[in-house]
């Protein structure tokens, strides 16, 4: 039986929810996984809740259905927690990695009080980080770094390389800023696990 | 060969580039747009050689421009879907009748009304009878591989028909996944330049698609049907050549798994096939004699292949992605007609995932198990539908 890791991303249109899954599909492949990422397309408006999916496996991936029982949930925007049941179907021993301005304990108390205790909740203030470094509240690269730091599924060096390549065409400065953001989020999350 | 994680759009656009089309013409429509956007970017970067990239005012215009271009002997490409495809339909019937081997990608999407931008197969099914070859692909590697094969088949002189590569919108077009990208040299060795026997030129004026009164119209239809039937052999040959060339064997007009001793056959097309194959494998481990038949070529229809593999099957489960309203699912309709008098299997067809509704693994498993356990009647069903009350005012 091969491994299959399933990740669901939640956020709002304009935050790069789809790109987050896509960057990790590219980086995961560089780490030797077979990968598949795809969005759940909605009304494509800025601000509306958006979902995207990522699968990592040791064999070619044939499952193209939506992810109902993720191993990991990554939340790019604190305000979707509540209106969207981001924790739906998460597996035992799973992990929720959320952009949230408060501590993990506070998030658990405020929104996930009924959550199975085997599920780990981690928070990071990615909006502040993105504002500090990018000057814009686009949290996808920070959360990609947070995901890798929390799960250790992808090496920081691989992720930095992937993120640089991803943003390079939009200019080296932007690419470097995103790499900085990834590293900062990775290291902060690494310390919390 | 380079294995890279790319998006479905790019996998297709890159393969089109390697086929060196002379004219690309398109009009944007979700979820197709990024295919031609990728090609437009390649064109702007000077990567498409002498290709002309023409933007049209509508899909009707795009298809019309390609009819003209193809008639002059140009290799042509377009991509569309949904309302865009049915807006093209008048032109595509003409393209088929004029025997123009235009290759197009359909990023399969539902039809209006109500408006849906999401995936099913209703759009390409609406073009079923147009004389256009239709192949459905399972993943982005197959989509990538199908482009050079489509040109080779369509441009074969015993075929000369338009060709639709049908790939599920979003599920494939928007997915990032690893794809082995072809080399230019591989495609150059495989696909000769397009050189039709008859071309539209100013020196030697001809008429394409002219007036055909009753005394000669029927013969044109006869040769179109013959060309479609001849295409079956051409496709088999090209598919085989491709498997030898690349090591990737996608099968013939159909591809089967576990059919040798299957009592129950599951039939499907497109991106859902991978998941169904996995369910079939799991059921085999449970001792259930289930097999999978993936229909790759819907037009021409693989009648002979289906008769062969279904010979001893007791029950057939069909997963449909479209409906012929007033009858049933289009795959089951054709399947039953092909098997009539050759196989006594009962056919159970399930329309699933219309308008992009998700097709989870449990749904597939439940449909097949219900058929195995005799819990469902023969014929046509909708599955994955919410409970609702229809109000007739």
Q: Note the pLDDT of residue B1.
A: 78
| In contact, B296 and B273? CB cutoff 8 Å | no
* Inter-chain CB proximity B178 and A34 less than 8 Å: yes
Please name which of B202, B357, B220 lies closest in space to residue A65, comparing C-alpha atoms: B357
Q: Which residue is associated with the tokens 């989870």?
A: B360
Strands B290-295 and B254-257: antiparallel
pLDDT at A93 over 90: yes
- pLDDT tens per residue, range B27-52: 999 999 999 999 999 999 999 999 99
- Measured between beta carbons, which residues in chain B are less than 8 angstroms from residue A18? 174
| In contact, B103 and B77? CB cutoff 8 Å | yes
Please return the burial class of B1, using the count of CB atoms within 10 Å of its CB with bins 0-12, 13-18 and 19+: exposed
**Whole-number Cα distances in Å, B168 to A114, A159, B257, B372:** 38, 30, 22, 28
Q: Do the interacting molecules here have an ipTM over 0.90?
A: yes
- pLDDT tens per residue, range B46-68: 999 999 999 999 999 999 999 99
Q: Note the pLDDT of residue B273.
A: 98
Q: Note the pLDDT of residue A97.
A: 98
Longest dimension (CA), chain B: 69
Token pair in block for residue A76: 């790019």
The H or E element that residue B265 is part of is: strand B264-268
Closest A-chain CA to B119: A41
* Inter-chain CB proximity B175 and A68 less than 8 Å: no
Strands of B57-215 (E only): list them.
Answer: 76-80, 103-108, 133-136, 163-168, 176-181
Query: Which range has the worst mean pLDDT, A45-49, A133-137, A145-149, B249-253?
Result: A45-49
Closest A-chain CA to B6: A26
pTM above 0.90?
A: yes
Average pLDDT of chain A, as a whole number: 95
CA pseudo-torsion sign B114, B118, B120, B122: positive
Q: How far is A19 from chain B (nearest CA, A)?
A: 10
* Inter-chain CB proximity B272 and A64 less than 8 Å: yes
Rounded Cα distance between B27 and B29, Å, is: 7
* Inter-chain CB proximity A62 and B278 less than 8 Å: yes
**Whole-number Cα distances in Å, A177 to A20, A126, A167, B181:** 16, 14, 10, 31
Spell out which chain A residues touch chain B, with contact meaning CB-CB distance below 8 angstroms: 18, 21-22, 25-26, 29, 34-39, 41, 60-66, 68
Q: Which residue is associated with the tokens 């499907």?
A: B268
* Inter-chain CB proximity B176 and A37 less than 8 Å: yes
* Inter-chain CB proximity B275 and A22 less than 8 Å: no
Q: How far is A51 from chain B (nearest CA, A)?
A: 13
CA pseudo-torsion sign B303, B309, B311, B315: negative
* Inter-chain CB proximity A61 and B118 less than 8 Å: no
CA B231 from chain centre, in angstroms, equals 14
- pLDDT tens per residue, range A39-54: 987 766 677 899 999 9
Average pLDDT, integer, range A22-32: 97
Q: Note the pLDDT of residue A44.
A: 62
Rounded Cα distance between B265 and B207, Å, is: 48
Average pLDDT, integer, range B276-304: 98
Pick B275's closest partner by Cβ from A26, A39, A64: A64
| In contact, B89 and B164? CB cutoff 8 Å | no
Average pLDDT of chain B, as a whole number: 97
Rounded Cα distance between B331 and B326, Å, is: 15
Rounded Cα distance between B50 and B46, Å, is: 9
Average pLDDT, integer, range A58-65: 96
Q: What is the DSSP string of A120-166?
A: EEEEE-HHHHHHHHTSS---HHHHHHHHHHHH-SS-HHHHHHHHHHH
Q: Where do the domains of chain B lie, and which CATH numbers do they carry?
A: 2-246 (3.40.50.970), 254-382 (3.40.50.920)
**A–B CB contacts, 8 A cutoff, strictly below:** 62
The interface residues of chain B toward chain A in range 59-78, judged by CB-CB distance below 8 A, are none
Strands A72-75 and A95-99: parallel
Closest B-chain CA to A59: B178
pLDDT at B278 over 70: yes
pLDDT at B134 over 70: yes
Q: Where do the domains of chain A lie, and which CATH numbers do they carry?
A: 4-192 (3.40.920.10)
Rounded Cα distance between B12 and A135, Å, is: 36
- pLDDT tens per residue, range B325-359: 999 999 999 999 999 999 999 999 999 999 999 99
Token pair in block for residue B3: 């294995």
């Amino acid at each position: 039986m091969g491994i299959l890791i399933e990740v669901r991303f939640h956020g709002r249109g304009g935050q790069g929810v789809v790109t987050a899954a896509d960057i990790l599909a590219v980086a995961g492949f560089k780490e030797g996984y077979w990968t598949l990422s795809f969005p759940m397309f909605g009304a494509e408006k800025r601000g509306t809740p958006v979902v995207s999916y990522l699968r990592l496996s040791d064999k070619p991936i044939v499952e193209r259905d939506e992810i109902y029982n993720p191993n990991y949930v990554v939340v790019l925007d604190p305000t979707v927690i509540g209106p969207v049941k981001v924790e739906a179907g998460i597996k035992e021993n799973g992990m929720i990695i959320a952009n949230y301005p408060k501590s993990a304990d506070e998030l658990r108390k405020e929104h996930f009080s009924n959550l199975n205790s085997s599920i780990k909740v981690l928070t990071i203030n990615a909006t502040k980080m993105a504002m500090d470094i990018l000057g814009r509240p686009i949290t996808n690269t920070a959360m990609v770094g947070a995901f890798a730091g929390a799960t250790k599924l992808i090496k920081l060096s691989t992720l930095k390389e992937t993120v640089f390549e991803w943003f390079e065409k939009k200019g080296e400065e932007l690419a470097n800023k995103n790499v900085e953001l990834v590293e900062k989020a990775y290291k902060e999350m690494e310390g919390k696990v | 060969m380079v294995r890279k994680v790319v998006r479905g759009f790019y996998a297709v656009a890159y393969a089109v580039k390697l086929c060196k089309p002379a004219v690309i013409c398109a009009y944007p429509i979700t979820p197709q747009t990024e295919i031609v956007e990728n090609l437009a970017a390649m064109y702007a970067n000077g990567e498409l050689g002498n290709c002309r990239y023409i933007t049209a005012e509508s899909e009707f215009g795009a298809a019309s421009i390609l009819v003209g271009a193809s008639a002059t002997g140009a290799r042509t490409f377009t991509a569309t879907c949904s309302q865009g495809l049915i807006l093209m339909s008048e032109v595509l019937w003409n393209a088929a009748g004029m025997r123009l081997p235009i290759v197009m990608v359909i990023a399969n999407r539902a039809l209006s009304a109500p408006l849906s931008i999401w995936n099913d197969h209703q759009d390409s099914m609406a073009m079923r009878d147009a004389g256009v070859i239709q192949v459905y692909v399972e993943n982005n590697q197959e989509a990538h591989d199908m482009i050079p094969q489509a040109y080779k088949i369509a441009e074969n002189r015993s075929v000369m028909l338009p060709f639709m590569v049908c790939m599920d919108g979003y599920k494939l077009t928007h997915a990032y996944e690893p794809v082995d990208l072809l080399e230019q040299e591989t495609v150059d060795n495989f696909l000769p330049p397009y050189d039709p026997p008859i071309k539209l030129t100013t020196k030697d004026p001809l008429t394409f698609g002219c007036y055909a009164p009753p005394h000669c119209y029927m013969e044109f239809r006869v040769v179109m049907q013959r060309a479609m039937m001849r295409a079956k052999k051409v496709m088999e040959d090209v598919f085989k050549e491709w498997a030898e060339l690349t090591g990737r064997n996608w099968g013939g007009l159909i591809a089967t798994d576990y059919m040798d001793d299957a009592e129950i056959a599951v039939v499907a097309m497109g991106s859902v096939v991978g998941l169904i194959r996995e369910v079939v494998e799991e059921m085999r481990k449970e001792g259930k004699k289930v097999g999978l038949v993936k229909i790759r070529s819907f037009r021409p229809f693989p009648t002979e292949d289906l008769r062969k593999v279904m010979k001893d099957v007791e029950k057939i489960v069909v997963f449909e992605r479209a409906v012929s309203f007033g009858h049933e699912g289009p795959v089951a309709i054709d399947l039953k007609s092909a098997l009539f008098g050759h196989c006594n299997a009962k056919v159970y067809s399930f329309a699933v995932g219309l308008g992009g509704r998700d097709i989870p693994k449990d749904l597939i498993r439940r449909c097949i198990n219900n058929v195995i356990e005799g819990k469902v009647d023969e014929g046509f069903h909708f599955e994955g539908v919410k409970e609702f009350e229809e109000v007739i005012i």
